[in-house]
Chain A
Amino acid sequence: MQNWINAFSWLNVRFLLMGLWVTIYISVISVILSFIFGSILGIIRYSKIKYVSQVVGFVIDIIRNIPLLLIIFFTYFGLPNFGLRPETIPAAIIAMTVFESSMIAEIVRSGIQSVSVGQMEGARSTGMSFVQALWHVVLPQAYKNMVPAIISQFVSLIKDTSLATIIVVPEMMQHAQVIYGQNANYILPMFAALAVLYFVVCFTLSIIGNVIGKHLS
């Protein structure tokens, strides 16, 4: 019991929360970037532009079928071979963005395809261009359908930031490791704290997602 009390000293809790801040920072930036890039890639893949769509689709398929851990390794240990030497946090953000963009791209593509073909044809028949029809008619309906899938993808993104401890990103998981490095008896209290903190963050995001979903429909 004493171990639990000592493990949650103010200094340790503060250090853990500093880690949580980095986790949230990486997550928010990666969520925003991957939403933008994912949408662009998803629309390109849907649009069937000759060659371009195929190349994009091919790259997305490759990235989606590679473990995120490997992509993190590559950005941190592989990119320096090409003259780029990102620090740990940017490396984590690059890796998360690359991986999540391709996941979001697939969600976006299937979301657009879920809107009936008649919507697009109807819009085009009123004289709208392909882009106009996509922007004003198809996409608003598509994104409404996509909200649950996108939110659950972002929840897994937040949890996946813990993989970045492998390159010693100072996020929550790594800070927990440092805390139980002081004393091996703190390991269970720290795992319990991690479970609670990840749950709170991810569950809050799910609730926000539900609210947005209800608001739209």
Chain B
Amino acid sequence: MKKKFWLLPLLACILMLTGCGKSVNDQSVLKNAKQSNTIVWGVKGDVKLFGLIDVRDGQQKGFDVDMAKHITKHILGPQGKAEFVTTTSQSRIPLLKNGNVDAVIATMSITPERKKIISFSKSYFDAGQSLLVPKNSSIKSTKDLNGKTVIGVVGANSVANIKKVAPKAKVIELQDYAQAMNALKSHQGDALTTDNGILFGLAVQNPGYEVRGGTFTVEPYGVAVNKGQTSFTEAVDKAVLEMQHNGEYNRLIKKWFGDVPGFKYKELYRR
């Protein structure tokens, strides 16, 4: 076995190599996008209303996806192409850092923790966190959550928020919203928490459940880009502003949220 000791320095070298890979994406994302006339967007693939793959044609569809398409046209002009890569709550930041995608528009709230590693545009959607409970539940608001079990989704910051408003609540984190919904239905938890838009989407197919307590956080969604890509975030901000002025924004809100029962979509309108 002694013979193998000379291998240890080799292993150390390999480990060091992995540690000092060169930092990707020092170039301007905006400049590259203009050159290739394409913006590659990271979007969700399994979240109803925001980014869900359509089984008919395999294309991602939802509010986030439409926003990305419109923002692309505003930045690159009518010939600009938007390409989509499906991401999850866990993979979207690494993909951004590695340069697999130019920008992420995937139900991503702007938070101070995330701002340390990536940059955000201004908010493009005013989400807020709420609770989904069975209609006969005694839970009226977040005050009733102490001692109860709350279900959330991994990689989202909604779980951290629950720990702030109800420190004594027990929290279960699951892989995706459908799994979380099933855990709620099989009584593994007393309430499901995430952004209200997603909750209303889940409540549509489950009439025995309702969204309660209003929104107890303000969690605006932002377009995420790699740290330092300020020219790109400024272009996104400008595009969103233009969309608000010419009514495109409100049309998209109505298109995706107009039919969701119980959801006051007009409160999301922007001028």
Per-residue CB contact flags for chain A residues 142-185 toward chain B (1 = under 8 Å, else 0) read: 00000000000000000000000011101000100111111111
B45 at the binding interface (Cβ < 8 Å): yes
Judge whether B100 and A85 touch: CB under 8 Å: yes
CB<8 Å pairs between A and B, sample of 19: A11-B55, A54-B7, A77-B91, A80-B100, A82-B21, A85-B99, A85-B100, A166-B91, A170-B86, A174-B45, A177-B176, A181-B177, A182-B48, A182-B55, A183-B205, A184-B182, A184-B202, A184-B205, A187-B182
Main secondary structure of the interface of B (DSSP, over half): mixed
Residue A188 CB within 8 A of the other chain: yes
Decide: B52 and A182 in contact? CB cutoff 8 A. Answer: yes
Expressed in whole angstroms, the Cα–Cα distance for A114 and B94 within the complex equals 46
Question: What is the chain A residue whose CB lies nearest that of B182?
Answer: A187
B258 CB to nearest A CB, Å? 19
Bound-state CA distance A166–B90 (Å) is 8
Which residues of chain B are within 8 angstroms of A170 by Cβ–Cβ distance?
Answer: 58, 86
CB distance from A83 to the nearest CB of B (A): 8
Q: Is B38 an interface residue (CB 8 A)?
A: no
The interface residues of chain A lying within 8 Å CB-to-CB of B179 are 187
> Number of contacting residues on A, CB 8 A?
32
* Given A55-B7, A85-B100, A185-B206, 10 extra CB contacts under 8 A: A58-B4, A77-B98, A78-B18, A81-B18, A166-B90, A170-B58, A174-B45, A178-B45, A178-B55, A180-B46
A198 within 8 A of B: no
Binary contact readout A64-85 vs B (1 if CB under 8 angstroms, 0 otherwise): 0000000000000110111001
* Residue from A11, A168, A187, A188 within 8 A of B86 (CB atoms): A168
Per the 8 Å Cβ criterion, residues 38-81 of B in contact with A are 45-48, 52-53, 55-56, 58
Within 8 A of A (CB), among B163-211: 176-179, 181-182, 185, 202, 205-206
* B98/A80 in contact, CB under 8 A: yes
Question: Contacts A77-B94, A177-B176: A58 and B7 contacting too (C-beta < 8 A)?
Answer: yes
Which among A62, A80, A82 is the interface contact of B99 at CB below 8 angstroms? A80
Q: Which residues of B contact A187 (CB under 8 A)?
A: 178-179, 181-182
| A80 in contact with B4 (CB, 8 Å) | no
Q: Give the top 5 A-B pairs by smallest Cβ distance, nearest first.
A: A81-B21, A181-B46, A184-B181, A15-B55, A80-B98
Which chain B positions have C-beta within 8 A of A15?
55, 58
* B87 near A168: Cβ-Cβ < 8 Å: yes
Q: Which residues of A contact B45 (CB under 8 A)?
A: 168, 174, 177-178, 181
